[in-house]
Amino acid sequence: MNKTTAAITAVGKYVPDYILTNKELETMVDTNDEWITSRTGIKERRILKEEGEGTSYMAIKAAENLIEKNNINPEEIDLVIVATATPDMPVASTAVYTASKIGAVNAFAYDLQAACSSFLYGMSVASSYIESGRYKKVLLIGADKMSSIIDYTDRATCIIFGDGAGAVLFEPNEEGLGLQDEYLRSDGIGREFLKIDAGGSILPPTEETVKNGQHFVHQEGRTVFKFAVSNMADVSEKILERNNLTKDTVNWLVPHQANKRIIEATANRIGLDDDKVMMNISRYGNTTSATLPLLLADYEKELKKGDNLIFAAFGGGFTWGSIYLKWAYSK
């Protein structure tokens, strides 16, 4: 009897219409296109400008794109997970609202937060639900409205982040395709280097915290960069070793889009050529939880059934990890 694995059977995406270019950022902070491009690989990012709309707006759009493209009945979805660092609001779950709006009336839903590793961790969770045999269709959405927590006078962060959402559907597979292995890590040492100081239970919002700009993302770039480079590369290499994979048997690296230099360092560690590395950072910047599913959506037509994909991510906390997945379909 074949072991049931969890395979991705459909993908969807949404990015806002508004494009914030490096040229426009030059008018906002002391920076320039050449400096941003050479250090990050980013040329532009998408910003959600619709008034009164948050992360759920993009999550819903990405889910609807997946549902429409693949003729899926949303009433058959068992579970909706929204991986996000920017929920619509505290307490009320973004995933629950998203599930209701897309017509997934028979699903239960919840949010998952692990900073930029949220979607990667979500892949592990979604796969476990499928492998348990209790659920047949798990919709995992990665969505973040990073513009809602970015200080556009802080050039250390405003040049990096953008808004967007991507979605994947996990279903049971009997052919040995889908998620094969995972190596997920975390270390609380990172808490001080990438965070938002105020708005949580330690430092609730006050007039003073707002005035001090303590509700924006603070990042110590050099420290985060150093940890990201070493850890993303380490876990990717470990996944290859554990599964007897080589640069010749890996078809694609699917890396978190934080910085082009981090992506290149990870690819170099496992010996992959550029044509095997998924990259769209130049167009979207770092969309946090949305980077991995947006890559899958952008490269979907190039993926072939049986392809070996290595996912890697690194995020605040610190959180990081790598997942080995065999692709389940060809377009």
Q: Closest Cα to residue 308, out of 262, 258, 240?
A: 240
- Which whole number is the average pLDDT over 217-234? 93
> CA-CA distance, 146 to 245, in Å (whole number)?
35
Class of domain 5-175: alpha beta
How are beta strands 108-112 and 79-83 bridged, if at all? parallel
User: Which among 22, 231, 259, 286 is annotated as catalytic?
Assistant: 286
> Domain map of the chain by residue range?
5-175, 180-327
- Give CA–CA dist 289/83, Å, rounded: 6
**Whether 257 contacts 192, CB under 8 Å:** no
Task: Examine domains 5-175 and 180-327 and report if their fold is the same.
Answer: yes
Active site residue 243: no
- Mean local confidence (pLDDT), 120-129: 98
Mean pLDDT rounded to a whole number for the chain = 97
| Catalytic residue flag (residue 158) | no
Burial of 306 (0-12, 13-18, 19+ CB in 10 A): middle
Q: Of the residues 65, 158, 231, 256, which is catalytic?
A: 256
Question: What pLDDT digit, counting tens, does each position of 103-113 carry?
Answer: 999 999 999 99
The model's confidence at residue 196, banded by pLDDT at 50, 70 and 90, is very high
| Residue 2 pLDDT | 77
Please report the pLDDT score of residue 1 as a whole number: 57
Q: Is 256 a catalytic residue?
A: yes
Distance CA 224, CA 194 (A): 7
pLDDT category of residue 221 using cuts at 50, 70 and 90: confident
pLDDT > 90 in the chain, percent: 98
Fold adopted by 180-327? Peroxisomal Thiolase; Chain A, domain 1 (3.40.47)
Task: Give the integer Cα–Cα distance in Å for 86 and 100.
Answer: 19
Model confidence pLDDT, tens digit, residues 63-82: 999 999 999 999 999 999 99
116, 173, 231, 259: the catalytic one is 116
Per-residue confidence band for 268, with pLDDT thresholds at 50, 70 and 90: very high
Give CA separation, 110 vs 51, 63, 87, 139, 205, in Å.
25, 15, 11, 11, 24
